[in-house]
Amino acid sequence: MVVRKPHPGPLTPDDWARAALAAIARGGIAAVAVESVAADLGATKGSFYWHFKNRDALIQAALDMWEQSRTESVIEELDHEPDPAERLRKLLEAAFERVPADRAEIALLADPGHPAATAAVRRVAQRRITYIAEQLEKLGWDHGEAQDRAVVLYYTYVGYLQMAHVAPEVVGDDTRQRHVHLILGTLVAGRLPAVQTGPG
């Protein structure tokens, strides 16, 4: 039996999208069911159709909200900082700090479960990698190396996201700070020795 909780005031499309995003965090795209989201909001299915054509439209609205809040808004805020090295430091610290609570992203990376979700995950990854690479180029890395380092940095973030979810005791506050420092020193400012491809 679905229990409806009263919601104060009229609902907006953002209210529905936010509730759908919370459902994604709990159980992935499969958890976004109109009736259960309506129950979370204390609304009826009929009121849902006042704002959205169907479930796919609600999923898209939730994905748009995730993309805006977790990527575009972050980049907009970072762009107030004139120093690209400081931008990357702030980006890493913010990304690693929010990891344990970012269950919607964990769910989407583990199993997008919907064509729109797959497209959003790919678009967000490319946007983040491109932004990181742009900052690295501003710090003097050539285009190819900046791209490679940005991809490796993003790999690291995704791995950290998963580790913080399945084994949070491994990535405590002190550990997280050391890892951010290590990543900054290795991938942002450090220079690795050339890879030898032949004998000797």
Could you tell me the residue ranges of all domains in the chain?
Answer: 66-189
pLDDT band at 196 (very low <50, low <70, confident <90, very high): very low
16-71 pLDDT, tens digit each: 999 999 999 999 999 999 999 999 999 988 889 999 999 999 999 999 999 999 99
* Mean pLDDT value across the chain: 86
Give the per-residue pLDDT at 59.
97
Fold of 66-189: Tetracycline Repressor; domain 2 (1.10.357)
Give the per-residue pLDDT at 5.
54
φ and ψ of 83, to 5 deg = -90, 120
pLDDT band at 99 (very low <50, low <70, confident <90, very high): low
C-alpha distances in angstroms, 142 versus 83, 145, 154, 185, 194? 18, 6, 18, 17, 15
Q: Are 88 and 9 in contact (CB under 8 A)?
A: no
Q: Are 51 and 11 in contact (CB under 8 A)?
A: yes
113-130 pLDDT, tens digit each: 899 999 999 999 999 999
Percent with pLDDT over 70 in the chain: 88
